[in-house]
């Protein structure tokens, strides 16, 4: 394994050196211990689906080409891929299920402190769900919405109703392909069934179900999570905040919320501002209570309250190594098991809060949905009481100018609508016009994780900069958004990196060239924005007609596969970096990266070099511009004076 830089983020290395001095292992050390990682696994060529195995296929064609049951490389890799999509869908959707249940209870008045914050969005969603809203009290509508929303999961027949939000042509295409999802649970279960030994052994057929399941995530589970969270906690609006470990404060009680669900963290925000809690903190010698976040729980409370981000996936262990984290509060997903053990070296209390996700060396405080504030206060109190236990000799906080960076977050698809069109004529028309006249070349969604195989943040930063330099506006979520934030790309000043056309639009509207749209379930905001652009007109009549592309250059989680698959099935060219889980299966990979386009108008791509990746996306965007007859317009603005002179 070559020794490459672990992170491009300057706060990381000094803290990793501290960890080494203190004898603490991190993900980078454990990766070394894993070396060499299994080559069959990396290529998608190993199967453990039954006890006749494990079986593996020789990628060089010399050894075995079939498993004991006769399954080929394509079958094995397709089954594995589909199971990743199922796991990703299940993760997003189990989060969503909890949101629906809490929403319904809140609507029924059973959850003190939670209610309807965004009434407009409630009515809009109700109408999309086919619920009559005229002459009905708000509460009654909310209860009906809650009940209908929960049906997304268990319904057995018909079509998940939010799929009707897609452009008509898209919905018809899904019907023709037989992939309109019936219910989230049903699609997940069907993948588990079909990938059991001896069931579905035809890779096109397996991928069709992976698409159906992933669509149940994007246009079902994830979408309803975003919608109901917005209704309950407020639809995000542009908000100023900060990112990186410099947001931790030496003189305050530091609480980090980590994971994915905003249900509890919303109340931790309230509890951390409670006068009684602040007084308690004072009594322990702390100047205040400082809340910060990691991973998507962080994005949720950033988007709605401006709570600063401590960092993304590969920052979680490093945050503890600062020695100033008094409590790390974890809910579900992307939480490293190592946190519990690392915390043993410091005073930090790791607190799990969801019965689904416990771990050794952590204490568990179950989130009680019938009294969120009480749960939150209990957690905040634990953190405060832990403050005096800090060991000053173990504290090392990055505090130079790179230790935190300002950012603007809070771009829901609704606020983009207002910002572009103005409050009185909210519309996507100005965006469409600017795409048509070529100031904006296209739209890219750059999302996803950190992956230990890639220098932390390097691919996000390089790809996003390359895209905006070529006038592609970037929508970002998840850990990618945090990476962008750390390097100043989420501020209007980032216009300096943008091409002339994009810069002129950003200047006129006053937005950064890279828009933070939230957590990973909020990728559905990108689907909604794309749909709004289609419906506005002038750029074709389906998502697949748009000059747009998606990417996850440092992806690692199974959720990323579900997201990628629903983007592809929604008509989007979707490029992954770092690795791709089917590369050993030639026919399957060819299908996913080429042939599938004729069915869905979107396809997968793999490119490890982020700059080359950006150019593949731009190439796709240009192809779409050409198909729309917009290629001429583009040239007009992209040539600056020097280039014109060269032409002359």
Interacting residues toward ligand NFS by CB under 6 A: 260, 295-296, 312-313, 334, 448-449, 478-479, 519-520, 557, 559
Q: Which helix (H) or strand (E) covers residue 310, if one does?
A: strand 309-311
Q: Which is nearer to ligand NFS, 312 or 412 (CB)?
A: 312
Told to check if 71 binds ligand SF4 by CB under 6 A, we report yes
Q: Return the closest-CA partner of residue 511 out of 547, 461, 468, 470.
A: 468
Q: How many whole angstroms separate alpha carbon 410 and alpha carbon 142?
A: 24
Between CA 575 and CA 582, with CA 581 as vertex, the angle to 5 degrees is: 95
Residue 199 CB, nearest approach to ligand SF4 (Å): 10
Residue 236 CB, nearest approach to ligand NFS (Å): 16
Residue 194 CB, nearest approach to ligand SF4 (Å): 12
Look at strands 472-476 and 442-446 and give their pairing. Answer: parallel
Binding to ligand SF4 (CB under 6 A) within 379-438 occurs at: none
Contact in structure between 107 and 228 (CB atoms under 8 Å): no
Question: Quick one: what does residue 54 bind among ligand NFS, ligand SF4, none, with the CB cut-off 5 to 8 Å set by partner type?
Answer: ligand SF4
Question: Quick one: what does residue 69 bind among ligand NFS, ligand SF4, none, with the CB cut-off 5 to 8 Å set by partner type?
Answer: ligand SF4
Three-state DSSP class for residue 135: coil
Q: Which is nearer to ligand SF4, 201 or 272 (CB)?
A: 201
Number of shown-chain residues binding ligand SF4 (CB under 6 A)? 14
Residue 78 CB, nearest approach to ligand SF4 (Å): 12
Question: Quick one: what does residue 50 bind among ligand SF4, ligand NFS, none, with the CB cut-off 5 to 8 Å set by partner type?
Answer: ligand SF4
Contact in structure between 71 and 65 (CB atoms under 8 Å): no
Q: How many whole angstroms separate alpha carbon 498 and alpha carbon 560?
A: 27
Residue 411 CB, nearest approach to ligand NFS (Å): 17
Told to check if 44 binds ligand SF4 by CB under 6 A, we report no
Helix 372-386 and helix 262-272, axial crossing angle in degrees, nearest 10:
60
Binding to ligand SF4 (CB under 6 A) within 75-94 occurs at: 76
Question: Quick one: what does residue 553 bind among ligand SF4, ligand NFS, none, with the CB cut-off 5 to 8 Å set by partner type?
Answer: none
Residue 222 CB, nearest approach to ligand NFS (Å): 10
DSSP state of 35: P
Q: Which stretch binds ligand SF4 (CB under 6 A): 51-59, 179-187, 219-227, 239-247?
A: 51-59
Q: What is the number of other CB atoms lying within 10 angstroms of the CB of residue 400?
A: 10
Contact in structure between 457 and 427 (CB atoms under 8 Å): no
Q: Which is nearer to ligand NFS, 144 or 227 (CB)?
A: 227
Q: What is the C-alpha R_g of the chain?
A: 24
Q: How many whole angstroms separate alpha carbon 271 and alpha carbon 260?
A: 19
Question: Quick one: what does residue 564 bind among ligand NFS, ligand SF4, none, with the CB cut-off 5 to 8 Å set by partner type?
Answer: none
Q: Which is nearer to ligand NFS, 201 or 222 (CB)?
A: 222
Question: Quick one: what does residue 571 bind among ligand SF4, ligand NFS, none, with the CB cut-off 5 to 8 Å set by partner type?
Answer: none
Told to check if 69 binds ligand SF4 by CB under 6 A, we report yes
Residue 185 CB, nearest approach to ligand SF4 (Å): 24
In the chain, how many H helices and how many E strands?
28, 16
Told to check if 65 binds ligand SF4 by CB under 6 A, we report no
Q: Return the closest-CA partner of residue 608 out of 523, 551, 550, 547.
A: 551
Residue 593 CB, nearest approach to ligand SF4 (Å): 24
- In the numeric block, which tokens belong to residue 640? 């600056």
SS3 labels along 15-31: HHHHHHHCCCCCHHHHH
Residue 564 CB, nearest approach to ligand NFS (Å): 11
Question: Quick one: what does residue 257 bind among ligand SF4, ligand NFS, none, with the CB cut-off 5 to 8 Å set by partner type?
Answer: none
Q: How many whole angstroms separate alpha carbon 464 and alpha carbon 474?
A: 7
Question: Quick one: what does residue 71 bind among ligand NFS, ligand SF4, none, with the CB cut-off 5 to 8 Å set by partner type?
Answer: ligand SF4
Told to check if 41 binds ligand SF4 by CB under 6 A, we report no
Three-state DSSP class for residue 232: helix
Q: Return the closest-CA partner of residue 374 out of 113, 136, 8.
A: 113
Question: Quick one: what does residue 492 bind among ligand SF4, ligand NFS, none, with the CB cut-off 5 to 8 Å set by partner type?
Answer: none
Among residues 45, 47, 380, 482, the one that binds ligand SF4 under rule CB under 6 A = 47
Q: How many whole angstroms separate alpha carbon 574 and alpha carbon 562?
A: 12
Residue 215 CB, nearest approach to ligand SF4 (Å): 27
Told to check if 50 binds ligand SF4 by CB under 6 A, we report yes
Told to check if 68 binds ligand SF4 by CB under 6 A, we report yes
Question: Quick one: what does residue 295 bind among ligand NFS, ligand SF4, none, with the CB cut-off 5 to 8 Å set by partner type?
Answer: ligand NFS
Residue 504 CB, nearest approach to ligand NFS (Å): 31
Q: Which is nearer to ligand NFS, 289 or 296 (CB)?
A: 296
Strand order in the sheet with 573-576: 514-516, 472-476, 442-446, 548-552, 573-576, 604-606
Q: How many whole angstroms separate alpha carbon 606 and alpha carbon 575?
A: 5
User: What is the residue whose two structure tokens read 């950190």?
Assistant: 450
Contact in structure between 224 and 232 (CB atoms under 8 Å): no
Three-state DSSP class for residue 384: helix
Question: Quick one: what does residue 403 bind among ligand SF4, ligand NFS, none, with the CB cut-off 5 to 8 Å set by partner type?
Answer: none
Q: Return the closest-CA partner of residue 564 out of 92, 159, 27, 47.
A: 92
Residue 233 CB, nearest approach to ligand NFS (Å): 17
Q: How many whole angstroms separate alpha carbon 485 and alpha carbon 51?
A: 47
The gap between the terminal CA atoms of the chain, to the nearest Å, is 51
Contact in structure between 72 and 66 (CB atoms under 8 Å): yes
Residue 289 CB, nearest approach to ligand SF4 (Å): 52
Residue 432 CB, nearest approach to ligand NFS (Å): 29
Beta-bridge mates of residue 295: 259
Told to check if 197 binds ligand SF4 by CB under 6 A, we report yes
Q: Which is nearer to ligand NFS, 208 or 312 (CB)?
A: 312
Among residues 14, 54, 115, 234, the one that binds ligand SF4 under rule CB under 6 A = 54
Q: Which helix (H) or strand (E) covers residue 239, if one does?
A: strand 239-243
Among residues 5, 34, 38, 52, the one that binds ligand SF4 under rule CB under 6 A = 52
Residues that bind ligand SF4 in the complex, under the rule CB under 6 A: 47-50, 52-55, 67-69, 71, 76, 197
């Amino acid at each position: 394994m070559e020794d490459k830089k672990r992170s491009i983020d300057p706060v990381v290395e000094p803290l990793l050196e501290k960890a080494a001095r203190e004898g603490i292992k991190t993900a980078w050390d454990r990766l070394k211990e894993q070396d060499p990682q299994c080559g069959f696994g990396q290529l998608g060529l190993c199967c453990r689906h039954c006890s006749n195995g494990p079986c593996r296929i020789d990628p060089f064609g010399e050894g075995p080409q079939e498993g004991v049951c006769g399954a080929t490389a394509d079958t094995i890799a397709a089954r594995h891929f589909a199971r990743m999509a199922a796991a990703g869908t299940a993760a997003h959707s189990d989060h969503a299920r909890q949101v629906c249940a809490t929403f319904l209870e809140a609507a029924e008045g059973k959850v003190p402190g939670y209610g309807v914050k965004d009434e407009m969005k409630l009515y809009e969603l109700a109408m999309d769900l086919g619920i009559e809203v005229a002459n009905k009290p708000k509460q009654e509508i909310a209860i009906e919405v809650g009940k209908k929303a929960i049906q997304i999961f268990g319904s057995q027949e018909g079509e998940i109703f939010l799929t009707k939000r897609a452009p008509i042509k898209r919905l018809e295409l899904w019907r023709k392909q037989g992939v309109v999802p019936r219910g989230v649970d049903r699609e997940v279960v069907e993948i588990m069934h079909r990938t059991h030994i001896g069931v579905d052994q035809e890779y096109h057929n397996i991928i069709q179900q992976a698409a159906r399941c992933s669509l149940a995530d994007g246009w079902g589970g994830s979408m309803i999570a975003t919608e109901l969270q917005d209704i309950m906690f407020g639809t995000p609006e542009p908000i100023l905040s900060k990112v990186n470990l410099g947001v931790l404060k030496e003189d305050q009680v530091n609480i980090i919320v980590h994971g994915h669900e905003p249900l509890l963290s919303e109340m931790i925000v309230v509890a951390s501002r409670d006068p009684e809690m602040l007084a308690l903190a004072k009594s322990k010698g702390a100047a205040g209570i400082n809340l910060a976040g990691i991973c998507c729980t962080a994005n949720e409370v950033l988007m709605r309250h401006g709570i600063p981000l401590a960092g993304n996936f590969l920052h979680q262990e490093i945050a503890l190594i600062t020695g100033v984290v008094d409590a790390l509060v974890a809910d579900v997903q992307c939480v490293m098991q190592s946190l519990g053990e690392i915390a043993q070296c410091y005073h930090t209390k790791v607190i799990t809060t969801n019965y689904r996700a416990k771990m050794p060396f952590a204490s568990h405080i179950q989130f009680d949905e019938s009294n969120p504030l009480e749960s939150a206060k209990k957690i905040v109190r634990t953190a405060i009481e832990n403050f005096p236990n800090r060991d000053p000799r173990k504290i090392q906080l990055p505090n130079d100018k790179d230790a935190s960076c300002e950012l603007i977050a809070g771009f829901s698809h609704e606020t983009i609508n207002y910002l572009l069109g103005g409050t009185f004529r909210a519309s996507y028309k100005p965006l469409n016009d600017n795409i048509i006249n070529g100031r904006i070349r296209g739209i890219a969604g750059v999302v996803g994780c950190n992956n230990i195989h890639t220098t932390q943040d390097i691919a996000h930063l390089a790809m996003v900069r390359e895209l905006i330099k070529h006038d592609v506006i970037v929508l970002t979520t998840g850990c990618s958004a945090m990476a962008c934030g750390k390097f100043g790309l989420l501020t209007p000043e980032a216009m300096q990196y943008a091409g002339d056309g994009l810069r002129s639009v950003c200047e006129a509207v006053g937005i950064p060239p890279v828009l933070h749209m939230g957590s990973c379930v909020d990728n559905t905001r990108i689907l909604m924005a794309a749909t709004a652009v289609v419906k506005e007109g002038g750029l074709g009549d389906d998502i697949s007609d748009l000059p747009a592309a998606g990417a996850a250059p440092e992806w690692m989680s199974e959720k990323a596969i579900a997201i990628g698959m629903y983007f592809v099935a929604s008509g989007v060219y979707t490029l992954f970096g770092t690795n791709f889980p089917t590369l050993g299966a030639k026919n399957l990979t060819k299908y996913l990266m080429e042939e599938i386009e004729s069915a869905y108008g979107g396809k997968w791509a793999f490119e490890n070099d982020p700059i080359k990746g950006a150019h593949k996306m731009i190439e796709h965007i240009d192809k779409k511009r050409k198909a729309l007859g917009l290629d001429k317009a583009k040239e007009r603005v992209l040539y600056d004076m020097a280039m014109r002179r060269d032409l002359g």
